[in-house]
């Protein structure tokens, strides 16, 4: 019985014998939280800009059927 226990104990896959475990270890070792934080902040800033522009457009009450109004808005957006 003890030989079965030792066999099971020594046959467990390790990071060096298991490619998935090695890959997971590599990912964890190379993880840089600051780059993730920077990307999330950039995404949040972009979402905030979209929300602001949507609010600005909703308060303008523009007739979207008017091509002249749309040209005017396009001109303002391009600078």
pLDDT, tens only, 11-56:
445 545 688 999 999 988 888 889 889 999 999 999 999 999 998 8
Terminal-residue alpha carbon distance, the chain: 81
What is the pLDDT, as a whole number, of residue 62? 62
22 Rama class: left (phi>0) / alpha (psi -120 to 50) / beta = alpha
Residue 50: its pLDDT value, please? 95
pLDDT of res. 77? 64
What pLDDT is recorded for position 4?
A: 44
Nearest-angstrom CA–CA distance, 55 and 59: 6
């Amino acid at each position: 019985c003890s030989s079965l226990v030792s066999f099971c104990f020594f046959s467990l896959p390790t990071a060096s014998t298991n490619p998935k475990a090695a890959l997971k270890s590599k990912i964890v070792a190379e993880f840089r939280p600051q780059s993730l934080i920077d990307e999330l902040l950039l995404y949040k800033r972009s979402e905030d800009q979209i929300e602001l522009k949507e609010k600005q457009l909703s308060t303008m009450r523009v007739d979207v059927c008017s091509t002249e109004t749309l040209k005017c808005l396009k001109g303002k957006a391009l600078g």
